[in-house]
Amino acid sequence: MESQVEVRLRLLLGPSIAIGPGKAELLRGIRETGSIAAAGRRMNMSYRRSWLLVRTMNTCFREPLVDAAKGGSGGGGARLTDAGLRVLVLYEEMERKARQSIAGEVAGLRAMMRDAPEE
C-alpha cells in the first residue's frame, strides 16, 4: 500500500507567509479547541509563538482570521471568523489539488526509489 504524498504549500502573498502548513494546523487547532493556547500546545508551540502566528495571519488578510477574547474570570477563548474558515477551506483544497496534479510524477519518483528496509 502506497503512503499518501505530503504536500506542504507556503503561500507568500506579501512580505510574510500568509498561510502555510503550520498556520493551517494552528487554525485547525483553534477551530477544534476554541483556544489559541490549547491549539499551540497540541503543536508543542509556545503561547507566544502561537499568538505571533495568529497576529501575522490577522494582518496578512483584509479581515481577521481569528477572533480572540481575553481571559479572566469569565475565561477567554478564540474562534475562527468566517474569513478564517474560508481561508482554511481554500488552503486545504489547494493541498488536495496539488497532490492530484503531481500524482504521476510522484509515481515516477517512487519507481526509482530503493525499497524501504524492513524492520
Domains and CATH numbers, the chain: 11-112 (1.10.10.10)
pTM, entire model:
0.83
Tens place of pLDDT per residue across the chain (119 aa): 456 778 889 988 777 778 999 999 999 999 999 999 999 999 999 999 999 999 999 998 999 999 998 766 566 799 999 999 999 999 999 999 999 999 999 889 888 988 754 54
C-alpha closest to that of 60 among 27, 21, 14, 92: 14
DSSP state of 54: H
What is the Cα–Cα distance from 61 to 63, expressed in whole angstroms? 5
Contacts with 24 (C-beta within 8 Å, 6 or more apart), sequence order: 88, 91, 92
Length of the chain in terms of residues written:
119
Q: How many CB atoms lie within 10 A of CB 22?
A: 15
